[in-house]
Structures are given as structure tokens and as C-alpha cells.
Amino acid sequence: MKNILYKSTRGAEENITASAAVLKGLASDGGLFVPQEIPALDKSLEELSHMNYQEVAYEVMKLFLSDYTEEELKYCISHAYDDKFDTPEIAPLAKAGGAYYLELFHGATIAFKDMALSILPYLMTTAAKKNHAENDIVILTATSGDTGKAALAGFADVPHTRIIVFYPKDGVSPIQKKQMVTQKGANTLVVGVNGNFDDCQTGVKKMFGDQKLAADMGKAGFQFSSANSINIGRLIPQVVYYVYAYAKLLENGEIENGEKINVVVPTGNFGNILAAYYGKTMGLPIELLICASNENKVLYDFFRTGVYDRNREFILTSSPSMDILISSNLERLIYKIAGENAEKDQFMMEALSKDGKYEITPEMRDQLSCFYGNFATEQETAAGIRELYKATGYVIDTHTAVAREVYEKYKAQTGDQRKTVIASTASPYKFTRSVMTAIDPTFDAKDDFALVDELSKLSNVPVPKAIEEIRNADVLHKTTCEVSEMEQTVRSFLKK
């Protein structure tokens, strides 16, 4: 098996091990770590179809995380994908309305971020030992709603770690906010920022690139790392569930061996769809990657024009985890289609930082033929929830509804009837008000937790433990700050 090393998309760092890349999170030049090559699957689709989730996870992750021993990796996997998930399948497929919904919300915080953030603390603490890290790890993360709680749940009270989560104070759902601000753990800090997600993410990236701050933290016995999808240790576990989904469709006789499928992903920071692209590059028979945006349709415009332009109004929608205008993980794809030319990548990222936009070349656009982009309006999203429920009784959240609506538009435009997997990224219980009022506007008169009970009756799905736990939980985190105060907030928490 090849030893896969990692390099920065911006060229300053190369040839570091997977564990070192997981530990660092972000490269010192501000770039993202990428594998020197994307390895090919070394088990057949037939073999994979007879494996459970944990076994598929090992077969995928061993190829990317090649400096972890078999014992280390299997330890991380077995401790991550256990009874924290409410189904032994971990990521079951539900067939409804002519598509297969890959349910990625059966973990502790009922969103797809659990799929990677359940294992990241194990990968990171193992990496710290392997790389003889002496400092405590400070996880510094921006969240658009779901990463924050999943990261907090994963790292709470993990020895030799601290975790600081910044979220847009008025840009997450009431349930998402309650999940974060009730988080227990002496090593946790949750901070509401007077700004949007892009402000939070930019502030976090700025701290990662601040050499003086890093030196001060180092003297105090700390080193920063990230739990965002900019960390390769977040991205690789996400590849697993696309491989698993294909394997299960094959096992269940829904597809023939080697039959190509389409995959639809509701997309904000571009990590989840990039994981599907990595799966396709590994040899998974995926024909088309359908990138679904909400009204913050910067990615739709990029795929349509070749211009990435964040200079536009930031819209707060009912799918807040996608309310993003700077899709950080797109940089990994830009680097790939630029012929892995770090200079070209850096030029474009500097243009994005300085002018808020960049344009790719026609040659680069030619390499995006496996992507299709479209978007759904707020009205279309609500209609998608209502129509699917009325037709099938199956209830989806707002992000999954964006994906469904884009898929319906794609089918209407092309007539393509290829079997399709839709990444269902969050439980409808995270967005009860938006979901329930989409089904029946009269529900808007009820409070959020009354709506939880109504949703349970309507969907015949028990209220998840994650919701019951916060119903009467005390608010433990009340810190708020301006964007300009983020660094000082970190220093105060760490007392440096």
C-alpha cells in the first residue's frame, strides 16, 4: 500500500504525513492540505457490498491515512462509530419520491457533521502521540450551525484539548443555538459573533495565519488545529459514506455492479461534495455530482460562468448551514483543475481575498464536466418539503429539500433517470419551525419544542435524544463578541 503524503494547495508545505496534516489542520501558508495523489479503491465493489460501515470506513481511510497503523485506525473507527449512532447501519438509505436519501443524521448531534467529527478527536489525539506533540491542542472552529455542536460533542473533556467555537449570533436556527450554548465541558467555549458565517470563518483563518499569535500560544503550551472541513481529517471520513451508499445499493439489488449513479449534495463550504468527488476519483461509479445551493448561490454562478464572486448580498435562509459566500473547500478543487499548480491557486485565492472574486480558465472549466450546479429559492425549498411529505409521508429538513428541488430541476432539464443518491445532511428536528410551517403554515403559532412533539406525531419518528437533552438544559455559554474581538476572546479563554 502506498504511503500517501500531503502538501499545501499554496505550495509552501509538502511531503508531510497524514497524521501531521490532521494535527496542523491548516497549512502555514494559509493553504489546505491535499494528498499527493488520490488513491484507488483496492477492494472490489462486490467485496465492499458485504461489509458493514466500520469495515468500509477502514478500507477507505487506510488508503488516505497511511501512516496510521491498522491497530490505531481500527481503534479510532470502532470508538467513533458505535452506539452514539441510533442505528447500527450508521448511514441508512431511505427510498422516497424516486431517489435514495442517504441519512447522515443518526449521530449524537443529528447532522452529517457527526459522521466525521465523531472520529476526528480520535484521529487527532492519535496524531498528537505519533508526532510527539507536547502542547495542548486548541480546536479553533467557525460554524454555520452544525459543525460547532458536533465538534463540541466530540472534543468535550478530551484530555489535552480545548475547543473554541464561533457562530453567527443571529444566523443559526433556535435548535442549533440551544445545542451549542448548553454544551458541557470544562474545555469548551462557545461565542456568538455579531456577523455572518463568512465573518466567523475569515476571523478563524486569520488567527491560523497569525505568526505572533502562534508564537504566544506556543510559549503558553498551546497549538491551534481545526475541526472545520478545511482539516483533511474531517474530509477523508466523509468519503466513506459515499462508498458505503454505493455498496449498500449494490447489496440490496437496487443497482448492478459498476452501474453509474448520480449524487446530489446540498452545498455550502464545498467539503461534502468534494468528498463525493474524491470517491469518484477513487473509482466509485459516480456519473454526475449535483451541487445544490440555496439563495446564496455563489457556487451555482461559479459552475455556470467560471467566475467565483462573493461580492453580493448575504441572505439568511431557512437552510443556514449553507448560508456561505466563501466556500473554503473549493480551493482543493481549484488546485486540482489548475494542474496542481500552487502558484495559480495562490493567485486566485489572493484575488478572492483582495477583490472578492476570481475567474478560472477555459481549460480549468473543461475539467468540471462531472459537476452540475443549480439553486432553490426559499419558496421552492418549503414546497419541496410539503410535496415529498404529502406524496410519501417522508419528512426532510430544509437543506435536504434544497437538494431535492435542485435534483427535480435537473431531471426536468435533462430527462436523466439515472439512479440518484441525495445526501440528507440534517434531521428535520434541527429545523422544526421551517419544516413544520412548510407542511402547514398554522404550525407557526406554536413554540419550538411544541413543534418537536408535533413533528414526532406527523413523521412517526421518535424525538431524537439530542433534542430531548436540550429541551430543559441550562444555557452555559453567554459570550458574544464583535468580529474584531475574536482574537482577544481566544486569548482571554486561554488566559494569554
Question: For residue 366, what pLDDT is reported?
Answer: 96
The rounded distance, in Å, linking the Cα atoms of 183 and 25 is: 23
Relative to beta strand 6-8, strand 33-35 is antiparallel
In angstroms, the first-to-last Cα distance of the chain is 44
pTM exceeding the 0.85 threshold for the entire prediction: yes
The rounded distance, in Å, linking the Cα atoms of 314 and 320 is: 11
DSSP codes joined into one string, 9-41: TTSS--SB-HHHHHHH-S-TTS--EEESSPPPP
Question: For residue 106, what pLDDT is reported?
Answer: 97
Which residues on neighbouring strands pair with residue 223, listed in sequence order? Answer: 137
The rounded distance, in Å, linking the Cα atoms of 178 and 191 is: 13
The rounded distance, in Å, linking the Cα atoms of 280 and 57 is: 16
Residue numbers in the chain where pLDDT is lower than 50: none
Question: For residue 495, what pLDDT is reported?
Answer: 86
Tell me, rounded to whole angstroms, the distance of Cα 374 from its chain centroid: 19
DSSP codes joined into one string, 280-332: HHHT--EEEEEEEE-S--HHHHHHHHSEEE--S-----S-GGG--SS-TTHHH
DSSP codes joined into one string, 59-125: HHHHHH-TTS-HHHHHHHHHHHSSTTSSSTTSS-EEEETTEEEEE---STTSBTHHHHHTTHHHHHH
Is residue 131 a contact partner of residue 23, using CB atoms and an 8 Å limit? yes
The rounded distance, in Å, linking the Cα atoms of 60 and 64 is: 7
Phi, psi of 209 (to 5 degrees): -90, 0
The rounded distance, in Å, linking the Cα atoms of 260 and 323 is: 31
Which residues on neighbouring strands pair with residue 100, listed in sequence order? Answer: 95, 421
- Under DSSP, the state recorded for 110 is S
- Helix (H) or strand (E) holding 165, with range, is strand 161-168
Q: What is the CA radius of gyration of the chain?
A: 21
Which residue do the cell numbers 435542485 mark?
406
Question: How many Cβ atoms are within 10 Å of 465's Cβ, its own excluded?
Answer: 12
Half-sphere exposure of 141 (CA within 13 A, CB side): 33
The rounded distance, in Å, linking the Cα atoms of 45 and 42 is: 9
